[in-house]
Amino acid sequence: MRTGGTGRTGAPRSRPRPVAHPVLVSTVTRDVLDHFGKCPRCGYPAQESETVRTFQRGFTERIRFRTCGLPCGWTETESDGIRSQWR
Ligand SMILES: [Zn+2]
């Protein structure tokens, strides 16, 4: 009688997984009309748009993108990072 296989018994260890990158469900972008920031480069009023990315399991990421109203080339992206809605 042969006992083949790996010779090892025991359940595979379930290692604690780091929070894997959640799966993206939806992306919503809107213009932020009440943003009154100015371009730090030329002083012209800047425009801002906000993107909210929703992931599975209640994670969201809010990204603010600012750009100069003039074509001076200034842009800025700011992200809160991926966080859980539930805290
Ligand atoms: Zn500018």
Q: Model confidence over 19-50: pLDDT tens digits?
A: 567 899 999 999 998 878 999 999 999 999 99
Ligand 1 (ion): residues with CB under 5 Å are 39, 41-42, 44, 68, 70, 72, 74
Q: What is the distance in A from the centroid of ligand 1 to the CA of 45?
A: 8
pLDDT, one tens digit per residue, over 42-73 is 999 999 999 999 999 899 999 999 999 999 99
Class level of CATH domain 36-84 = mainly beta
Q: What is the distance in A from the centroid of ligand 1 to the CA of 37?
A: 11
Q: What is the distance in A from the centroid of ligand 1 to the CA of 60?
A: 30
Question: CA separation (Å) from 24 to 10, 52, 58, 80?
Answer: 35, 11, 10, 16
Alpha helices in 14-78 (DSSP H): none
What are the residues whose beta carbons fall under 8 Å from the beta carbon of 46, sequence distance 6 or more?
35, 37, 38, 39, 66, 67, 68, 69, 74
Asked whether 75 and 40 are in contact (CB, 8 A), the reply is no
Q: What is the distance in A from the centroid of ligand 1 to the CA of 67?
A: 8
Asked whether 45 and 74 are in contact (CB, 8 A), the reply is no
User: What is the value of pTM for the model shown?
Assistant: 0.67
Q: How many residues does the chain have?
A: 87
